[in-house]
Amino acid sequence: MARKRKGRPVHGWLIVDKPLGVTSTQIVGRVRRALDAQKIGHGGTLDPLATGVLPLALGEATKTVSYAMDGRKTYRFEVCWGEATSTDDREGEVTETSDHRPERAEIEAALADFHGTIAQIPPRFSAIKLQGERAYDLARENREFELAARPVEIERFVLCDSDRDTFNPDLASFEVDCGKGTYVRSLARDLARKLGTVGHVSALRRTSVGPFHENDAISLESLEALGHSPAALELLLPVETALDDIPALALSETEAARLRSGQSVSMLARSRSDQVRMLNSGSIVFAKTGDTPVALARYEAGDIHPVRVLNL
Protein backbone atom coordinates (compact mmCIF):
# COMPACT_ATOMS: atom_id res chain seq x y z
CA MET A 1 0.00 0.00 0.00
CA ALA A 2 1.42 3.39 -1.05
CA ARG A 3 2.34 5.79 1.73
CA LYS A 4 0.00 8.76 1.95
CA ARG A 5 1.74 11.99 0.96
CA LYS A 6 2.02 14.52 3.78
CA GLY A 7 0.46 17.96 3.47
CA ARG A 8 -2.44 19.49 1.59
CA PRO A 9 -3.23 19.01 -2.12
CA VAL A 10 -2.46 22.53 -3.36
CA HIS A 11 -2.39 23.19 -7.13
CA GLY A 12 -1.11 26.22 -9.01
CA TRP A 13 1.86 28.54 -9.45
CA LEU A 14 3.34 30.74 -6.75
CA ILE A 15 5.88 33.39 -7.74
CA VAL A 16 8.40 34.19 -5.02
CA ASP A 17 10.74 37.18 -5.08
CA LYS A 18 13.86 35.27 -4.12
CA PRO A 19 16.09 37.13 -1.64
CA LEU A 20 19.86 37.27 -1.77
CA GLY A 21 21.93 34.54 -0.17
CA VAL A 22 19.57 31.55 -0.18
CA THR A 23 19.34 28.67 -2.65
CA SER A 24 16.31 27.85 -4.77
CA THR A 25 16.04 24.51 -2.95
CA GLN A 26 15.89 26.29 0.41
CA ILE A 27 13.06 28.47 -0.91
CA VAL A 28 11.13 25.35 -1.94
CA GLY A 29 11.46 23.90 1.56
CA ARG A 30 10.32 27.08 3.28
CA VAL A 31 7.30 27.52 0.99
CA ARG A 32 6.35 23.86 1.40
CA ARG A 33 6.25 24.38 5.16
CA ALA A 34 4.45 27.72 4.89
CA LEU A 35 1.64 26.30 2.75
CA ASP A 36 1.76 22.71 4.04
CA ALA A 37 1.83 21.66 0.38
CA GLN A 38 2.04 18.01 -0.65
CA LYS A 39 4.06 18.54 -3.82
CA ILE A 40 6.21 21.48 -4.93
CA GLY A 41 9.12 22.22 -7.22
CA HIS A 42 10.84 25.27 -8.68
CA GLY A 43 10.89 26.36 -12.28
CA GLY A 44 14.39 27.52 -13.13
CA THR A 45 17.15 27.64 -10.52
CA LEU A 46 18.57 30.94 -9.31
CA ASP A 47 22.05 31.02 -7.77
CA PRO A 48 22.34 32.24 -4.15
CA LEU A 49 23.86 35.49 -5.52
CA ALA A 50 20.77 36.16 -7.64
CA THR A 51 17.44 37.68 -6.60
CA GLY A 52 14.08 37.98 -8.28
CA VAL A 53 11.43 35.88 -9.97
CA LEU A 54 11.42 32.24 -8.84
CA PRO A 55 8.30 30.42 -10.08
CA LEU A 56 7.20 27.56 -7.82
CA ALA A 57 4.90 24.85 -9.16
CA LEU A 58 2.56 23.20 -6.68
CA GLY A 59 0.63 19.96 -7.16
CA GLU A 60 -0.52 19.40 -10.73
CA ALA A 61 1.34 22.52 -11.86
CA THR A 62 4.57 20.50 -11.58
CA LYS A 63 3.49 18.76 -14.80
CA THR A 64 3.74 22.07 -16.68
CA VAL A 65 7.19 23.21 -15.45
CA SER A 66 9.05 22.40 -18.66
CA TYR A 67 6.66 24.55 -20.70
CA ALA A 68 7.09 27.56 -18.44
CA MET A 69 10.88 27.24 -18.53
CA ASP A 70 10.95 27.21 -22.33
CA GLY A 71 9.81 30.84 -22.29
CA ARG A 72 11.90 33.99 -22.50
CA LYS A 73 13.70 35.21 -19.39
CA THR A 74 14.69 38.77 -18.50
CA TYR A 75 17.60 39.67 -16.25
CA ARG A 76 19.07 42.90 -14.90
CA PHE A 77 22.69 42.56 -13.92
CA GLU A 78 25.86 44.43 -13.11
CA VAL A 79 29.33 43.68 -14.47
CA CYS A 80 32.45 44.58 -12.55
CA TRP A 81 35.32 45.24 -14.97
CA GLY A 82 38.94 44.36 -14.28
CA GLU A 83 38.61 41.08 -12.39
CA ALA A 84 37.84 37.60 -13.72
CA THR A 85 36.75 35.03 -11.15
CA SER A 86 36.62 31.24 -11.05
CA THR A 87 32.81 31.27 -10.98
CA ASP A 88 32.30 34.30 -13.27
CA ASP A 89 30.53 36.05 -10.39
CA ARG A 90 31.58 37.72 -7.17
CA GLU A 91 31.50 34.48 -5.17
CA GLY A 92 34.57 33.04 -6.90
CA GLU A 93 38.28 33.59 -6.44
CA VAL A 94 39.97 36.21 -8.61
CA THR A 95 41.84 34.43 -11.40
CA GLU A 96 42.92 37.33 -13.61
CA THR A 97 43.01 41.13 -13.53
CA SER A 98 43.15 43.92 -16.09
CA ASP A 99 43.67 47.67 -15.86
CA HIS A 100 41.64 48.37 -18.98
CA ARG A 101 38.21 49.93 -18.48
CA PRO A 102 35.92 50.13 -21.53
CA GLU A 103 34.32 53.42 -22.55
CA ARG A 104 30.56 53.68 -22.86
CA ALA A 105 30.70 53.90 -26.67
CA GLU A 106 32.88 50.77 -26.79
CA ILE A 107 30.40 48.83 -24.70
CA GLU A 108 27.41 49.86 -26.81
CA ALA A 109 29.23 48.94 -30.03
CA ALA A 110 30.28 45.52 -28.69
CA LEU A 111 26.71 44.59 -27.71
CA ALA A 112 25.83 44.23 -31.40
CA ASP A 113 27.79 40.95 -31.45
CA PHE A 114 25.59 39.51 -28.69
CA HIS A 115 22.22 39.50 -30.41
CA GLY A 116 20.35 36.68 -32.11
CA THR A 117 21.73 33.14 -32.00
CA ILE A 118 25.20 33.10 -30.45
CA ALA A 119 27.57 30.32 -29.39
CA GLN A 120 28.10 30.33 -25.63
CA ILE A 121 30.35 28.23 -23.40
CA PRO A 122 28.69 27.70 -20.00
CA PRO A 123 30.60 28.67 -16.84
CA ARG A 124 32.81 25.98 -15.34
CA PHE A 125 30.76 26.29 -12.17
CA SER A 126 27.45 25.25 -13.72
CA ALA A 127 25.05 22.30 -13.52
CA ILE A 128 25.99 20.99 -16.97
CA LYS A 129 26.65 17.24 -16.89
CA LEU A 130 29.78 15.62 -18.35
CA GLN A 131 29.68 11.82 -18.34
CA GLY A 132 27.20 11.88 -15.50
CA GLU A 133 29.03 14.41 -13.31
CA ARG A 134 28.12 18.06 -12.72
CA ALA A 135 30.59 20.61 -14.01
CA TYR A 136 30.60 22.45 -10.67
CA ASP A 137 31.68 19.27 -8.88
CA LEU A 138 34.55 18.79 -11.33
CA ALA A 139 35.55 22.45 -10.94
CA ARG A 140 35.55 22.24 -7.13
CA GLU A 141 37.88 19.24 -7.37
CA ASN A 142 40.20 21.15 -9.75
CA ARG A 143 39.79 18.46 -12.41
CA GLU A 144 40.57 19.22 -16.03
CA PHE A 145 37.57 19.37 -18.36
CA GLU A 146 36.16 21.37 -21.24
CA LEU A 147 32.61 22.50 -21.87
CA ALA A 148 31.40 22.68 -25.44
CA ALA A 149 29.86 25.85 -26.85
CA ARG A 150 26.14 25.67 -27.52
CA PRO A 151 23.69 27.98 -29.27
CA VAL A 152 21.56 30.34 -27.19
CA GLU A 153 19.10 33.05 -28.19
CA ILE A 154 19.60 36.69 -27.16
CA GLU A 155 16.60 38.84 -28.08
CA ARG A 156 17.70 42.07 -26.40
CA PHE A 157 20.91 43.13 -24.63
CA VAL A 158 21.22 46.76 -23.62
CA LEU A 159 23.36 49.00 -21.42
CA CYS A 160 21.16 50.54 -18.72
CA ASP A 161 23.35 53.41 -17.50
CA SER A 162 21.36 56.32 -18.88
CA ASP A 163 23.23 59.22 -17.28
CA ARG A 164 26.49 59.76 -19.15
CA ASP A 165 27.68 62.25 -16.51
CA THR A 166 27.64 59.57 -13.80
CA PHE A 167 29.10 56.75 -15.90
CA ASN A 168 31.15 54.47 -13.61
CA PRO A 169 34.27 53.12 -15.36
CA ASP A 170 34.44 50.10 -13.02
CA LEU A 171 30.84 48.94 -13.26
CA ALA A 172 28.15 48.68 -15.93
CA SER A 173 24.49 47.70 -15.65
CA PHE A 174 22.66 45.72 -18.33
CA GLU A 175 19.30 44.18 -19.14
CA VAL A 176 18.92 41.10 -21.31
CA ASP A 177 16.01 39.13 -22.76
CA CYS A 178 17.20 35.64 -23.54
CA GLY A 179 16.10 32.12 -24.34
CA LYS A 180 16.39 28.84 -22.50
CA GLY A 181 19.86 27.77 -21.39
CA THR A 182 21.52 31.21 -21.49
CA TYR A 183 24.06 31.91 -18.75
CA VAL A 184 24.29 35.58 -17.75
CA ARG A 185 27.69 34.90 -16.18
CA SER A 186 28.97 33.74 -19.56
CA LEU A 187 27.56 36.86 -21.22
CA ALA A 188 29.46 39.05 -18.75
CA ARG A 189 32.66 37.05 -19.18
CA ASP A 190 32.52 37.07 -22.98
CA LEU A 191 31.53 40.73 -23.27
CA ALA A 192 34.49 41.71 -21.09
CA ARG A 193 36.84 39.68 -23.31
CA LYS A 194 35.35 41.32 -26.39
CA LEU A 195 36.15 44.70 -24.85
CA GLY A 196 39.77 43.80 -24.17
CA THR A 197 39.41 43.33 -20.43
CA VAL A 198 38.03 40.83 -17.93
CA GLY A 199 34.95 40.99 -15.75
CA HIS A 200 32.41 39.17 -13.63
CA VAL A 201 28.77 39.49 -12.53
CA SER A 202 28.58 41.47 -9.30
CA ALA A 203 24.76 41.65 -9.04
CA LEU A 204 21.97 39.72 -10.77
CA ARG A 205 18.18 39.94 -10.68
CA ARG A 206 15.67 37.96 -12.76
CA THR A 207 12.62 40.05 -13.57
CA SER A 208 10.59 37.57 -15.64
CA VAL A 209 10.33 33.91 -16.62
CA GLY A 210 7.93 33.13 -19.44
CA PRO A 211 4.50 34.39 -18.33
CA PHE A 212 5.66 35.22 -14.78
CA HIS A 213 6.82 38.73 -13.88
CA GLU A 214 8.00 40.80 -10.93
CA ASN A 215 4.52 42.14 -10.30
CA ASP A 216 3.32 38.54 -9.73
CA ALA A 217 5.90 37.93 -6.99
CA ILE A 218 5.57 37.94 -3.21
CA SER A 219 8.42 38.18 -0.76
CA LEU A 220 9.28 35.07 1.22
CA GLU A 221 8.74 36.92 4.50
CA SER A 222 5.23 38.03 3.49
CA LEU A 223 4.28 34.52 2.44
CA GLU A 224 5.55 32.98 5.67
CA ALA A 225 3.60 35.58 7.65
CA LEU A 226 0.39 34.43 5.92
CA GLY A 227 1.11 30.78 6.77
CA HIS A 228 -1.68 28.28 6.09
CA SER A 229 -4.36 30.96 5.76
CA PRO A 230 -6.82 31.25 2.83
CA ALA A 231 -5.07 34.52 1.91
CA ALA A 232 -1.91 32.56 1.06
CA LEU A 233 -3.82 30.29 -1.32
CA GLU A 234 -5.34 33.32 -3.04
CA LEU A 235 -1.83 34.18 -4.26
CA LEU A 236 -1.73 31.07 -6.44
CA LEU A 237 -1.93 31.49 -10.20
CA PRO A 238 -3.85 28.83 -12.16
CA VAL A 239 -2.02 25.72 -13.36
CA GLU A 240 -2.68 26.73 -16.98
CA THR A 241 -0.83 30.05 -16.58
CA ALA A 242 2.33 28.29 -17.79
CA LEU A 243 0.55 27.17 -20.97
CA ASP A 244 -0.30 30.57 -22.46
CA ASP A 245 1.77 29.92 -25.60
CA ILE A 246 0.32 26.44 -26.26
CA PRO A 247 -2.76 26.04 -28.50
CA ALA A 248 -5.88 25.28 -26.48
CA LEU A 249 -8.54 22.78 -27.58
CA ALA A 250 -12.03 22.71 -26.10
CA LEU A 251 -13.41 19.22 -25.39
CA SER A 252 -16.78 17.89 -24.39
CA GLU A 253 -17.15 16.14 -21.04
CA THR A 254 -17.23 12.76 -22.82
CA GLU A 255 -14.03 13.54 -24.74
CA ALA A 256 -12.34 14.82 -21.59
CA ALA A 257 -13.18 11.56 -19.83
CA ARG A 258 -11.59 9.59 -22.68
CA LEU A 259 -8.42 11.66 -22.53
CA ARG A 260 -8.20 11.34 -18.74
CA SER A 261 -8.44 7.56 -19.06
CA GLY A 262 -5.51 7.49 -21.49
CA GLN A 263 -7.50 7.16 -24.71
CA SER A 264 -7.10 9.29 -27.84
CA VAL A 265 -9.73 11.74 -29.09
CA SER A 266 -10.43 12.41 -32.77
CA MET A 267 -10.16 15.99 -34.04
CA LEU A 268 -11.39 15.23 -37.56
CA ALA A 269 -15.00 16.34 -37.10
CA ARG A 270 -15.93 19.31 -39.31
CA SER A 271 -16.69 21.45 -36.25
CA ARG A 272 -13.04 21.05 -35.23
CA SER A 273 -11.57 22.53 -38.42
CA ASP A 274 -10.77 25.96 -36.98
CA GLN A 275 -9.11 24.43 -33.92
CA VAL A 276 -6.82 22.02 -35.76
CA ARG A 277 -6.05 23.84 -39.00
CA MET A 278 -2.79 25.32 -37.68
CA LEU A 279 -1.56 22.17 -35.94
CA ASN A 280 1.30 20.05 -37.22
CA SER A 281 1.94 16.39 -36.49
CA GLY A 282 3.60 16.23 -33.09
CA SER A 283 2.20 19.56 -31.88
CA ILE A 284 1.48 19.81 -28.15
CA VAL A 285 -1.94 21.17 -27.25
CA PHE A 286 -3.66 22.12 -24.02
CA ALA A 287 -7.00 20.32 -23.74
CA LYS A 288 -9.73 21.63 -21.47
CA THR A 289 -13.43 21.30 -20.89
CA GLY A 290 -15.13 24.54 -19.94
CA ASP A 291 -12.68 26.28 -17.60
CA THR A 292 -11.18 23.01 -16.32
CA PRO A 293 -7.75 21.92 -17.58
CA VAL A 294 -7.77 18.29 -18.74
CA ALA A 295 -4.38 17.37 -20.18
CA LEU A 296 -1.40 18.21 -22.28
CA ALA A 297 -1.80 16.18 -25.44
CA ARG A 298 0.04 15.47 -28.69
CA TYR A 299 -1.69 15.91 -32.06
CA GLU A 300 -0.97 13.13 -34.56
CA ALA A 301 -2.85 11.99 -37.67
CA GLY A 302 -6.06 13.78 -36.71
CA ASP A 303 -6.15 12.55 -33.10
CA ILE A 304 -4.88 13.94 -29.83
CA HIS A 305 -3.14 11.59 -27.42
CA PRO A 306 -2.68 12.36 -23.71
CA VAL A 307 0.89 13.25 -22.64
CA ARG A 308 0.29 14.60 -19.12
CA VAL A 309 -3.17 14.30 -17.59
CA LEU A 310 -4.02 17.08 -15.12
CA ASN A 311 -6.05 15.76 -12.21
CA LEU A 312 -8.01 18.86 -11.27
Say if residues 123 and 92 touch (Cβ distance below 8 Å). no
Single-letter amino acid code for the residue at 70: D
Q: Which residues are catalytic?
A: 47
In sequence order, what are the residues at sequence separation of 6 or more whose Cβ sits closer than 8 angstroms to the Cβ of residue 169? 81, 101
CA atoms of 128 and 131, how far apart (whole Å): 10
Cα 135–Cα 137–Cα 143 angle in degrees, nearest 5: 80
CA atoms of 101 and 285, how far apart (whole Å): 50
Cα 6–Cα 256–Cα 12 angle in degrees, nearest 5: 35
CA atoms of 218 and 5, how far apart (whole Å): 27
Nearest to 172 by CA among 272, 306, 79: 79
First to last CA, the chain: 23
Strand partners, 214: none
Backbone angles phi, psi at 174, to 5 degrees: -135, 160
